[in-house]
Amino acid sequence: MSATSRATPLPKRATAQRLAPKARIHPFLFVLPSVVMLAVLLALPIGQALLRTFQSDTGWGLDNYVRALRDDHLARLAIGHTFSFAFFSVVGQYILGFGVALILSGKLPFRAMFRVLFLLPWMFPAVVPGIVWRWIFDGLFGVLNEALYRVGYYAETDVPIAWLGQTSTALGATIVANIWRGFPFMMILLLAGLQAVNHELYEAASVDGANAFRRFRDITLPAMKGISFVAILLAWIGSFMNFAIVQVMTAGGPANASEVFATLVYKNAFLYADANYAATLGILLLLLLMVPGGLYVRATIRSGRD
């Protein structure tokens, strides 16, 4: 009987072994349509763009990359403007978003209404804030110059500043518009992080005599480190490839003073009819964005494991 009882599990084990490969294949079959769609919508266009980067008037080669990295002064100028635009935009969005998130996380009358109101700049397409801020910074009829006249910054005989028509102020004006448009996204992420902090820690710190600044420094900032890193990476990616605001407000001018990489790609593709060189600039932009993109994926995987 013992020999018979020992032999009975064998057919079940063999059946499990026969079914195991099918069980391993089934999940891949379910995700296969999504993989195929991603390959068609992403890999195929990127592959075609990559092939075009090696085509030039002289044939196949690296002429476009040599032109972009060594010969094209405008490309180097645009990449410098892009880094400046992204850096100051992210800093402004983080400071403003964190400040508003701190206010909205406290006891505030009509808090839900204010949360919706602060989200309005982010709800609009990027073209709309560009149009609004172009009107605000207009040299002749802008709201900003009118306000400066009213407070006495300008005399009646002074010529108002053409904020979008001067090389010294055009890029800064687009940064201000991008901060206004992007800080609600930062606010939402940081507000979610603030609500996840254990409020018993604040109560214990208050009992121990810690003031508001020490509670913010010793509890809030350490607890917000992870979500802040992810929010900054996402804001950097969005600002680095920003096109609509700069194009609507200045179109890269005056005298290329606000030219960023995205507007330079657009001009080469649609204004100068140089699609091969535009594809080269686009691939270089993609390579630059892979660094923060890889950091974001790494942070996401690490937070999932934790």
**Least confident interval from 12-21, 74-83, 89-98, 219-228:** 12-21
Cβ–Cβ under 8 Å, residues 210 and 218 = yes
For residue range 189-235, list pLDDT tens digits in order. 999 999 888 888 888 888 888 888 888 888 888 889 888 998 999 99
| Domains identified in the chain and CATH numbers | 2-53 (no CATH), 65-305 (1.10.3720.10)
Q: What is the mean pLDDT of residues 143-147?
A: 91
Q: pTM for the whole thing?
A: 0.83
pLDDT in tens, 94-116: 999 999 999 888 777 877 888 88
Question: In the predicted model, what is the mean pLDDT of the chain?
Answer: 86
Rounded average pLDDT over 125-146: 91
Contact (CB, 8 A) for 189 and 265: no
- Taking residues 139-165, what's their average pLDDT? 88
The answer on pLDDT for 2 being more than 80 is: no
Query: Average pLDDT of 238-252?
Result: 93
Closest to 197 measured CA to CA, from 228, 168, 151, 176: 228
Q: What is the mean pLDDT of residues 239-245?
A: 92
- Asked if pLDDT for residue 5 goes beyond 90, the answer is no
Q: Distance (Å, rounded) from C-alpha 264 to C-alpha 241?
A: 11
- Give the pLDDT band of residue 1 (cuts 50, 70, 90): very low
